[in-house]
Amino acid sequence: MTRKIQAEPYELVFDPKHTALLIIDMQRDFVEPGGFGEALGNDVTLVRTAIEPTKKLLDMARHQGLCVIHTREGHAPHLGDLPPTKAERGRPGPDGGIGSVGPMGRILVRGEKGHDIIPELYPLNDEPVVDKPGKGAFWATDLHLILQNRGIKTLIVCGVTTEVCVTTTVREANDRGYECVVVSDATGSYFPEFHKMSLEMIKAQGGIFGWVTDSSEVIRAFR
Ligand code: C5J
């Protein structure tokens, strides 16, 4: 049975059987003090606002039996999957880059405490966790395969940061034929103006990349 989400630029009709909740990079490194985000000089309280709405969506999705997929940005301990360009950019200092040791272990390295998903949103055993070396969740991952195997057509997207990994993933998803609705209060950025403009870009031109709504509207649509 199809349902409708009131969204911008117009309502989205979707079938819950073919819909997934996609939670992007809600990792300690991005949303907790002492992680990569803070090492870059950002105020993590600005992205922590996404936690509670995402938790409500996650609870609802689990209750409804919706497909739930988590992603984590990060690199293998040998850093062989870290492009030198990425390693160089955004370095706060000689010891603060990806792979260096911070308060939560090696920054953005798989297996380290900081790389893992925050306890509030921790995945269940049967929820795929897609480890990605890039910003987009489709590049160099098996996300598309997982979604195809589960018959997913629509993605309810939340996570951080809006203008980096969320929008990169939404753009990648568009080119692969998925419909994306981005949840405004369940996404977050260290830069409120980037958050706002990213959402504007998604829904502009008749929804060139998809739809934008908020968590209460998504939850209402499932009642
Ligand atoms: C960033 C992300 N901002 N998950 N990663 O580097 O948005």
Question: What ipTM does the predicted assembly reach?
Answer: 0.95
Q: Which structure tokens are listed for 211?
A: 């739809």
Ramachandran sector of residue 198 (left: φ over 0; alpha: ψ -120 to 50; beta: rest) = alpha
* 87 vs 20: CA distance, rounded Å: 32
Q: Which atom of ligand 1 is nearest to the CA of 163?
A: 7
Q: Which atom of ligand 1 is nearest to the CA of 165?
A: 7
Q: Give the catalytic positions in this structure.
A: 25, 132, 165
Q: What stretches in the chain show pLDDT beneath 50?
A: none
Q: What residue type is assigned to position 177 of the chain?
A: G
Closest residue by Cα to atom 2, ligand 1, is: 165
Residue with tokens 């269940």: 124
Q: Which domains does the chain have, with CATH numbers?
A: 3-221 (3.40.50.850)
* 136 vs 58: CA distance, rounded Å: 21
Residue 147 pLDDT: 98
Rounded to two decimals, the pTM is 0.97
Residue 93 pLDDT: 59
Instruction: Give me the chain's average pLDDT, please.
Output: 96
Residue 95 pLDDT: 63
Q: Report residue 67 CA to chain centroid gap.
A: 15
Q: Which residues line ligand 1 (CB under 6 A)?
A: 25, 30, 73, 160-161, 164-165
